[in-house]
């Protein structure tokens, strides 16, 4: 593995300061868990095996329609983004893959890009297409939609772009295409709901045809934004109907911030599992809309309940169950590297906590309608502090016991700032 700009020896030195206490906490937790017949080593291995993809675009500072406030040392291209992703994985030990976004991450020579990621020990997963923006010089605009546009030229451009993404992704080794479109309307009457959805389905079918045999296509639903009256794939209902119509290689992807207020998302996850259409996740957290906040930062118990479904499905050996995990966040006020490291670990935390649940005991409570004990069984897992397990999994693979302090001590951001002069055009002007 190519060295990142944070020397592994530096990480190791930082770790050694904390290793003794970690071992003590790990042992105490191990003893406690063993009373319930739980093997802490098995959990530590599970934590070590767990991996979640980082979105290439998440390494830059995000923003809102009102403004963007750039940070220092922001990556200016996919190679620098990759450099940051390598640091994220070095510290977290659970982000060994990167999800590209096209055309943002398009390069002339994908071989070079692949070699660079290989050198960091990073894989590419889940290619994301972008038909919610017009690119410079684009003739057939997406202003009024892409795959569902009333104009054939725009639909064709959107279809072609997705096919291009597949080809670019193949060069990087990704095995799935994630399609999120902003298509919809802002005015009642603007769009014919049925005809627009039919156009969407027809266009998506063209992309589906271009899928390699071992690829999947993941559709993403979203309630609103950028369209504010209707959105073509507005919820999991439209999503799964589209996926069912398109074929077995098409599945639904769940972004936690894309639902109506109060929605029970874990139940949607269960439904998608049951109907064999859960393709993957975009993890983040939110309080109001698609806030794209750090995973687990607002409703950690909700995230745990989602993993409760995922772990349960794996326990039951549910067929065709192999969802892709990815972060998708907007880091407006934090260092993106810190947020991505932290968020990956918070998702991992939910996973390990969900593994603590005694499935057979839970099924017994459920069968007996013992709501109190059933919910207590979940809460017992959630309330257990699994930090020592997560830290030990990191420590053993050379990642950081305390990622954020280690990162800060490394001065990485300040160091890259010197060699990444800010693009003067990358203003924070906003759009309104």
Residues 63-102 touching a second copy, rule: CB under 8 A, are 63-69
From 132, 215, 315, 321, residue interacting with a second copy (rule: CB under 8 A): 132
Q: Kindly tell me which residue out of 229, 411, 414, 415 binds a second copy, with binding defined by CB under 8 A.
A: 229
The distance of closest approach from Cβ of residue 2 to a second copy in the complex, given in angstroms and rounded to an integer, is: 27
Q: Which of residues 182-201 bind a second copy (CB under 8 A)?
A: 182, 185-195, 197-198
The sheet that has 216-220: what strands, in order across it? 127-128, 176-179, 216-220, 250-255, 278-283, 324-327
CA gap 329, 312 in Å, rounded: 26
**Which CB, 211 or 254, lies closer to a second copy?**
254
Which of 122, 378 has the CB closer to a second copy?
378
Number of CB atoms found within 10 A of residue 175's CB:
17
Closest CA to 100 of 68, 133, 122, 71: 122
Q: Which range in 106-114, 133-141, 210-218, 393-401 contacts a second copy by CB under 8 A?
A: 133-141
Closest separation in Å from C-beta 26 to a second copy: 11
Out of 50, 57, 281, 351, the only residue in the binding site for a second copy (CB under 8 A) is: 57
H or E element, residue 127: strand 127-128
Identify the residue among 103, 121, 173, 226 touching a second copy (CB under 8 A).
Answer: 226
Q: Which is nearer to a second copy, 211 or 269 (CB)?
A: 269
Per CB under 8 A, 358 contacts a second copy: no
For a second copy, the closer CB: 211 or 348: 348
Contact call for residue 295 and a second copy (CB under 8 A): no
Binding footprint of a second copy, residue count (CB under 8 A): 123
What residues contact 359, with CB distance under 8 A and at least 6 apart? 312, 315
Return phi, psi of residue 347, to 5°.
-70, -45
Residue 369's region, left for phi above 0, alpha for psi from -120 to 50, else beta, is left
Residue 278 DSSP SS3: strand
* 333 makes contact with a second copy (CB under 8 A): yes
Which DSSP string do the residues of 293-353 spell out, in sequence order?
Answer: BPTTSS-HHHHHHHHHHHHHHHHTT-TT---EEEE----SSS-HHHHHHHHHHHHHHHHHH
Mask for 230-269, x = binds a second copy (CB under 8 A): x---xxxxx-xx-----------------xxxxxx-xxx-
Over its C-alpha atoms, the chain yields an Rg (Å, rounded) of 22
- Identify the DSSP state of 134: P
What is the nearest approach in angstroms of a second copy to the Cβ of residue 313?
8
Find the binder of a second copy among 28, 42, 72, 153 (CB under 8 A): 28
Classify each residue of 108-133 as buried b or exposed e, where b means 16 or more C-beta atoms within 10 Å of its C-beta: eebeebbebbeebebbbbbbbbbbee
Any contact of residue 309 with a second copy (CB under 8 A)?
yes
Q: Which of 84, 96, 183, 335 binds a second copy (CB under 8 A)?
A: 335
Closest CA to 239 of 286, 191, 271, 283: 271
Which residue in the set 10, 45, 46, 62 belongs to the binding site for a second copy (CB under 8 A)? 62
Kindly give, in sequence order, each residue whose CB lies less than 8 Å from that of residue 111, ignoring residues fewer than 6 positions away. Answer: 171
Q: Cβ closer to a second copy: 215 or 315?
A: 315
Of 176 and 303, CB closest to a second copy = 303
The answer to the question of residue 32 lying near a second copy (CB under 8 A) is yes
CB nearer a second copy, residue 14 or residue 120: 14
Binders of a second copy in range 363-422 (CB under 8 A): 363, 365-369, 371-379, 382-385, 387, 404
- Maximal C-alpha separation, the chain: 66
Nearer to a second copy, 398 or 430 (CB): 430
Q: Which is nearer to a second copy, 14 or 211 (CB)?
A: 14
DSSP string spanning 46-63? Answer: HHHH---BEEGGGGS--B
Nearer to a second copy, 211 or 393 (CB): 393
């Amino acid at each position: 593995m190519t060295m990142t700009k944070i020397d592994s020896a530096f990480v190791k030195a930082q770790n050694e300061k904390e290793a003794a206490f970690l071992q003590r906490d790990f042992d105490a937790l191990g003893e406690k868990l063993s009373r319930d017949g739980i093997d802490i080593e098995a959990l530590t291995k599970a934590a070590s095996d767990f991996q979640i993809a980082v979105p290439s675009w998440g390494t830059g500072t995000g923003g809102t329609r009102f403004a963007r406030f750039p940070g220092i040392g922001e990556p200016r291209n996919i190679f620098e983004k990759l450099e940051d992703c390598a640091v994220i994985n070095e510290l977290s030990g659970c982000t060994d893959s990167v999800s590209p976004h096209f055309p943002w991450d398009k390069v002339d020579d994908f071989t070079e890009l692949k070699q660079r990621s290989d050198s960091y020990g990073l894989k590419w997963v889940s290619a994301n297409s972008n038909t919610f923006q017009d690119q410079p010089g684009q003739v057939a605009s997406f202003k009024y939609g892409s795959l569902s546009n009333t104009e054939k030229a725009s639909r064709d451009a959107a279809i072609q772009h997705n096919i291009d993404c597949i080809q670019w992704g193949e060069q990087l080794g990704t095995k799935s295409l994630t399609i999120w479109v902003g298509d919809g309307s802002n005015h009642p009457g603007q769009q014919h709901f049925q005809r627009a959805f039919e156009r969407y389905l027809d266009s998506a079918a063209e992309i589906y045809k271009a899928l390699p045999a071992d690829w999947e296509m993941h559709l993403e639903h979203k309630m609103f934004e950028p369209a504010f009256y209707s959105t073509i794939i507005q919820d999991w209902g439209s999503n799964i109907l589209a996926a069912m119509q398109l074929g077995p290689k098409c599945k639904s992807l769940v972004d936690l911030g894309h639902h109506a207020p109060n929605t029970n998302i874990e139940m949607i996850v269960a439904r998608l599992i049951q109907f064999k259409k859960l393709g993957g996740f975009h993890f983040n957290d939110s309080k109001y809309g698609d806030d794209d906040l750090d995973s687990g930062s607002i409703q950690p118990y909700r995230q745990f309940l989602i993993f409760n479904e995922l772990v349960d499905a794996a326990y039951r050996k549910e067929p065709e169950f192999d969802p892709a995990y990815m972060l998708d966040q907007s880091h407006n006020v934090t260092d993106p590297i810190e947020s991505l490291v932290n968020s990956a670990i918070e998702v991992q935390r939910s996973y390990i906590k969900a593994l603590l649940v005694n499935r057979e005991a839970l099924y017994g409570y459920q069968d007996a309608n013992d709501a109190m004990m059933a919910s207590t069984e979940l809460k017992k897992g959630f309330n257990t502090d699994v930090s020592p397990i997560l830290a030990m999994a990191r420590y053993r693979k050379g990642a950081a016991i305390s990622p954020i302090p280690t990162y800060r001590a490394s001065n990485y951001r300040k160091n890259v700032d010197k060699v990444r002069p800010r693009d003067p055009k990358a203003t924070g002007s906003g759009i309104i």
